[in-house]
Amino acid sequence: MANVAVIGAQWGDEGKGKVVDWLASRADIVVRFQGGHNAGHTLVVGDTTYKLSLLPSGVVRGKLGIIGNGVVLDPDALFSEIEKVRAQGLDVGPHNLRIAENTPLILPLHPALDRAREAARGEDKIGTTGRGIGPAYEDKVGRRSIRVCDLAEPETLSAKLDELLLHHNSLLRGLGSPEFEKQPLLDKLLALAPRLLPYAEAVWETLDAARVAGKRVLFEGAQAVMLDVDHGTYPYVTSSNTVAGNAAAGAGVGPGAIGTVLGIAKAYATRVGSGPFPSELFDDVGRMLGEKGREFGTVTGRPRRCGWFDAAMVRQAVKIGGVNGLVLTKLDVLDGLKELKICVGYKVGGVETRRLPAGMRAQAAAEPIFEVMQGWSGSTFGARSYAELPAEAVKYVRRIEELVEAPVMMLSTSPDRDDTIALRDPFAG
User: What residues are annotated to the active site?
Assistant: 13, 41
- CB-CB neighbours of 185 under 10 Å: 18
- CB-CB neighbours of 142 under 10 Å: 12
Distance CA 243, CA 252 (A): 15
> Which is nearest to 51 in space by CA: 297, 230, 362, 258?
297
* Under 8 Å between Cβ of 57 and 64: no
* Under 8 Å between Cβ of 279 and 342: no
Bridge partners of 71? 35
Q: Which long-range contacts (CB under 8 A, 24 or more apart) does 282-288 make?
A: 285/337
Amino acid at 175: L
- 147 three-state secondary structure: strand
Q: Which segments of 117-267 are extended strands (E)?
A: 200-201, 217-220, 260-266
Residue 244: Cβ-neighbour burial (10 angstroms; 0-12, 13-18, 19+): buried
User: Which secondary structure element, helix H or strand E, spans residue 371, and what is its range?
Assistant: strand 367-374
- 362 three-state secondary structure: helix
> Rg of the chain's alpha carbons, rounded to an integer?
22
Distance CA 345, CA 290 (A): 23
> Which is nearest to 74 in space by CA: 15, 127, 146?
146
